Structure 1
Amino acid sequence: MKLPKIGLLVAGIGLMLGVVACAGGQASPVEDREEKVAQAWAPTALPPEPTPQLTPEDDTETLRWLAFAYWEALNAYEVEKTVSYLEDKYRQAHLGEVEKGIRQMKMFGVKLGLSEESAPRTTGPGLAEMYMTLKEPLGTRRILMEFAKAQGEWKITFAEEVE
């Protein structure tokens, strides 16, 4: 998983806060502007957990829940919970990146907002994908999430920015 380039992210947050603090000619107080900025970047709420014993038609809701649960754990700065949603090989390959990214996000108090760009869809037997829109202080990114079902359980096999 590639997390946003944190240096650019932090610089963008600093720039955004500097602009808000220096915009003295506006009628609204600084507190109102800061609240509006915070509301604009509020993370998306986690959908309710799907019911157990799902049929194949219900996989869409399971995948949607899995995608949002992953990002919710990331925003909660919970490394173990975040990586628990990843497929074993993907987890092993990206554990260090996830740990580093979460440390940096926590240090700067960064929270990422997410919205669903496209509903989960199957791409083959036991395979699926969906696109998410990641909202961060510097703008938005398009994220492709891929999933695989192993031993009856869906796991994330890819979650990175795409064009």
Structure 2
Amino acid sequence: RRIKDEPKIKNKLLGVFEDQDAAGAFFSGALETLCALQAAAADFDFKSGLIHGDLRLDNILLTDARTYIVDWPNACRGPVVFDVLMLSVHLEAMGFGPAEEFLSLYDAEAGTGFAQTNGEELIIMAASMAGFFADQVYRAVPEKMPRLRWMQKSLFFGLLSLMHRHGRIESPPRMSGLRHI
């Protein structure tokens, strides 16, 4: 919502795109939809459970015998779709294929319906997460975390791309500093 209501913030966000005019046109068309979806999250009945809160590849350790999830300081009870979406979009950003492929595999194992075309739970959470990342990607890079903004840009772009593939918004323009597939 801040992007919509505060022109100064919107201009900072546009600055992370390769073509700021294209980004301006994109947000002119997408912002109302994104804000409406984000607002719907407050009343949506998400399936709740234990969530990691930062589930990405660098927090998963594989051995011959087991898989370990590490780095749990953000763990809490929350919407399960948050972790599933975070990991699937991160996998896409790292070149492992569209997020929907992982979501389909997860659905088959867990019996959820996150990968369904236009699944409201998935889309509402994607818009909410995109709103968070939109408010982070333009900020200064913390000295001891040089990859943080790049990772946030990757996740932001992936979430916007997923919502585009589900027919909710137009295709997002290219962001500077990202390898686009």
- Structure 1 length as normaliser, TM-score? 0.27
Quick check: which one's strand share is greater? 1
Quick check: which one's helix share is greater? 2
- Structure 2 length as normaliser, TM-score? 0.25
